[in-house]
Amino acid sequence: MRTDTNSKRAAVIAAVLVALLLLGACGTDKLERTASSKTADRSSTDATPIAVRDTELGEILVGRDGLTLYGFTNDVDARSTCEGACADAWPPVIVDADWTPGPGLDSGIFATTMRADGRLQLVAGKWPLYYYTADTAPGDLSGQGSGEVWYVVASDGTLVKDAPADDADDIVENLEDEGVLDATGTAAVTERETDLGTVLVDVDDRTLYGFTEDTAGTPTCDGGCAETWWPLTVDDGELPEGLDPDVFSVVDRPDGTSQLKAGRWPLYRFSGDDEGGVANGQGTDGTWFVIGPDGVLIEDGPSE
C-alpha cells in the first residue's frame, strides 16, 4: 500500500514539473518575441526603401512612402555625424546587413555605414541618407538647402545643390520685391508677432535664437552643437543692408565664417523648427531663447 502511494505521489510531482517546464518555455518564448518586436520597432528598418522620383530638381532618390532622401555636407568619408536632436529632425535610413537595391537601381552606388548605436545606415555615393521630418507627402522638398548643408540626392549618388533651373531667378526676384532680400541676395532679418512677443525671424520665417553660453558675444556653439542649432551666417562679413547697426553686428566664427548678432547674441536657427512660425527651441536646456527686435533674449513663457 505504501509503495502504491509513493508511486502515485512521484507521478503527480513529475506531472507538475513537466507542466512548470512547459509554462516556463512558453513564457520565455513570449518574452523573446516581445523583445524582438520592440527591437524591430525601435530600429525602423527599411526592407527596400529606395526608388527614383522625377522632380523639379531632376531624378532624385526617395525612400519609404515616396519621401525625399537627403545628404548632409558635414558627413565626410561616408560617416554619419547627425546624432541626437539632429537625428530627431533628420531620421537616418536604417537597413539590414542583407539589404539589396530595388529594380532599376545601380547597386554600385550604394553601401552602408555603421552608426554610433550599432545600426546600419544606407549610403548613396559618399552620402549617408536621411529623411526630413517636415516632409509629410511624396514630392515634398522642405529640407532642400536647409542650413546650406542639407540637399537632395540624385539617382547617381551626388548631391543636388541647385534650385530648379527655371525657377531660381524668379524666386530671388520675388523675394527682392517683397523686401526679404536686398539687391545682392543677402538674407534679411524681419520680425513676427507671437505669443512670446515680437521676435526676430529669418528669410524663411524661421525663428531666431540666442544661446546664453555666448556670454562674451562670441559664438560657442560649434561642431555637433551647430548641427542642431544652425548659425545665421552672412557673406563677406558685412552687415546686410537695412539692419540697424545699433542693434545688429557681425562676429567671426571658429570656422572662419561670419555670424550675424542681435545685441550681444549671435543668432541661430533650430533644426527642430520644421516650418516657419514655430519656436520649438524656446527654453531648450534652459539656454536657448527667442530674441526680440531690440537684441534682448525673451526668456519668459507666452503672455496670458
For the stretch 223-238, what's the b/e string if a residue is b when 16 or more beta carbons lie within 10 angstroms of its beta carbon? eebbbbbbbbbbeeee
Distance CA 103, CA 122 (A): 17
Distance CA 236, CA 1 (A): 105
Q: Are 100 and 48 a contacting pair, CB within 8 Å? A: yes
Q: Are 294 and 263 a contacting pair, CB within 8 Å? A: yes
> Has residue 27 got a pLDDT over 60?
no
For residue range 45-88, list pLDDT tens digits in order.
666 678 999 988 889 999 988 999 999 998 988 899 998 888 88
Phi-psi region of 285 (alpha: psi -120 to 50; beta: other; left: phi over 0): left
For residue range 191-216, list pLDDT tens digits in order.
999 999 999 998 778 899 999 999 88
Residue bearing the bigger pLDDT, 249 or 254: 249
- In the prediction, which pLDDT does 304 show? 40
For residue range 149-159, list pLDDT tens digits in order.
899 999 999 99
**Contact partners, residue 122, CB within 8 Å, separation at least 6:** 46, 49, 50, 93, 94, 95, 99, 110, 111, 112, 128, 129
Distance CA 281, CA 289 (A): 7
- In the prediction, which pLDDT does 20 show? 42
Average pLDDT over residues 21-44: 35
Domain ranges of the chain: 51-160, 168-298
Q: Are 237 and 252 a contacting pair, CB within 8 Å? A: yes
- Residue whose C-alpha is closest to residue 91's, from 51, 35, 143: 143
- In the prediction, which pLDDT does 44 show? 52
**Contact partners, residue 139, CB within 8 Å, separation at least 6:** 53, 55, 66, 68
Q: What is the pTM of this model?
A: 0.47
Distance CA 75, CA 51 (A): 22
Average pLDDT, the chain: 78
Q: Are 46 and 96 a contacting pair, CB within 8 Å? A: no
